[in-house]
Chains A and B, each alone.
Chain A
């Protein structure tokens, strides 16, 4: 009798296994969360060192126009730590690329979901998937061997600059925006289309006045996603932008972005020095921007839900 009660009351083998499995899987989850916290913790502490240890003022850093951390400016007696040219460079390529990519992405997505469904699935779907798969250095190589010489021969100069960066990024983020837009358009209920057509709308009127309106929050999310990717892209941009950290005054003269300065500089500075700390501050800006893009995506999502 005792034996049976004991056996029933005792935790069974499968319960133990279940607890073990649950423990293992939850620790994997905790590990991922911990990595994210660590990344933010370390990059923020290093990035803030510029302002705490080196006593650089935040406004000098954000709005200064002279980027040359290894040289002390004679006028101000301070090293050139103005990151504005880099921030502007990053924002310029990001926004320009998104502006060019958006009509192409929406057009392709509409083609795939509304106009030629069969060909869309057969031809355009693989095209988009292949474009997503192409590594960013390859985009950089193509930019360097095709885009830069083309711009050089049209506008003169070196061909390196914001325009080249924009074109390379445009092709890079196009598949991202397109595939997300396709998902949104597919999510527009069928009866929207049927009702529009039933009251006599042409196909274009249906697309323009009903489907695209209904899908606007999703399309905006897609664009912001593309911009986040463009803002954080490093190597492809670094290869074609020219890496000259001066205030960008034209689209076809060499410029620099946050990521390009980071990739070029971090290996050439000594850990803990001012030159190194300001680079970490740039990384911090990148991190915060990616957070801001995330928040914007959430806000759009919430606003879309309310409707």
Chain B
């Protein structure tokens, strides 16, 4: 009898724990959205931020976030793809592979503030890039590489060996098999992985404070020449992102509508990140259906 009571109590407690975890998430999302959504407007999403008066927006920060994300993915994706292909298709157990795997593991557990400081030391100070989009994109690349490599490697390893044997039987080289057979088959899950990592990169702030900087100079949205500093595309301008902006105004902001801007910006950040997470799997499934005609 005693064991049965214990069982009932434990089951109840576990139900309670699971419910409270779900409640915490829902409460947090509701809190951010309820506080933030009323402040969202076209003006808020597109206007420049103001430091001393009310009525500023997050337009430039939002643009910077997306631009940095795209640049970071452009740099990190090819590297991660190459590394994952080698690890999954070519690598045989050896000392070199053990060392590299350890390196990737260590890299993935680096605190992002250390990544940011490294970027600051190398790119901002040593290479005289200053606080710039380029420095930020490279810092985000370092932050993103281990996650992306691992997720692409998992995608590749899920392709059955039958495919590789079939490729070899047709006389294809390993590389040709990878390019023409393995990669097309794993596109859906690779895309899922990339989009999920994009969500993480979009919300990252600690790695950017001292690389992409904490200021967002006014941009001239009619000038698309990347070599002009006022151009939105210029990789050499400082670029405060949305996540950095939220941190910055909460720690030292002095505008009168601070809490409104902070709430609105947090809501936008959460919505974008959730969109990434939701669409990741959908996009993967959609691609899978398109590519396999099933």
Contacts and interface: CB of A to CB of B under 8 A. Distances in A.
Residues of A contacting B: mostly = helix
A121 interface: no
19 contacts: A21-B178, A22-B90, A25-B83, A38-B122, A39-B114, A104-B21, A111-B18, A112-B18, A115-B11, A138-B32, A138-B266, A141-B250, A174-B21, A205-B6, A266-B117, A283-B114, A287-B114, A290-B106, A290-B111
A38 B122 CA distance: 10
Interface string A251-273: 00000000100110011000100
Q: How large is the interface on B (under 10, 10 to 19, 20 to 34, 35 or more residues)?
A: 35 or more
Contact of A115 (B15, B80, B172, B269): B15
A130 B90 contact: no
Interface string B260-282: 00110010011001101100000
Contacts of B145: 32, 35
A171 interface: yes
Q: How large is the interface on A (under 10, 10 to 19, 20 to 34, 35 or more residues)?
A: 35 or more
Interface stretch (B66-74, B184-192, B203-211, B285-293): B203-211
Given A135-B205, A136-B203, A234-B113, A171 B31 contact: no
Contact of B243 (A42, A46, A137): A137
B114 A232 contact: yes
Interface stretch (B38-46, B54-62, B96-104, B221-229): B96-104
B132 interface: no
Interface of A: 14-15, 17-18, 20-22, 24-33, 35-39, 42-43, 46, 103-104, 107-108, 110-112, 115-116, 120, 123-124, 127-131, 133-138, 140-142, 144-146, 171, 174, 178, 201-205, 207-208, 225, 228, 231-235, 238-239, 259, 262-263, 266-267, 271, 280, 283, 286-287, 290-291, 293-294
B273 A108 contact: no
Given A35-B142, A286-B113, A137 B269 contact: yes
